[in-house]
Amino acid sequence: MAFDAQNLRDLLSLARMLRRFAEQHNYDANRELFLATAVALEARAHFLATAPNDEAAGLEHDLALHAPVNQLV
């Protein structure tokens, strides 16, 4: 997985959508969750944008070691 401009745009686009959701929700817990997730995505995008290429490539290997999360509720 290459951390190119499109991947960074996707992360920031998702963060922007989460911020919009936070503005639309009246329930404080949802608002806080959306904002915290948006901040984390923005921080991740910043890290990937400023990380040296060899460090970002190492992240790909580390991510592959973790089992996927079951999202069914």
pLDDT per residue, tens digit, the chain (73 aa), is 446 788 888 999 999 999 999 999 888 888 999 999 999 999 988 888 887 766 555 555 555 555 666 666 5
Whether 72 is in a domain gets the answer no
Distance separating alpha carbons of residues 48 and 2, to the nearest angstrom: 10
Q: 């948006």: which residue's tokens?
A: 38
Full-model pTM: 0.66
Whether 45 is in a domain gets the answer yes
Distance separating alpha carbons of residues 31 and 8, to the nearest angstrom: 23
The number of beta carbons lying within 10 Å of the beta carbon of residue 15 is 21
Per the structure, the complete domain to which residue 24 belongs is given by 5-64
| Contact predicate 26/34, CB 8 Å | no
Whether 70 is in a domain gets the answer no
Distance separating alpha carbons of residues 34 and 65, to the nearest angstrom: 27
Number of domains the chain contains: 1
Whether 56 is in a domain gets the answer yes
Whether 69 is in a domain gets the answer no
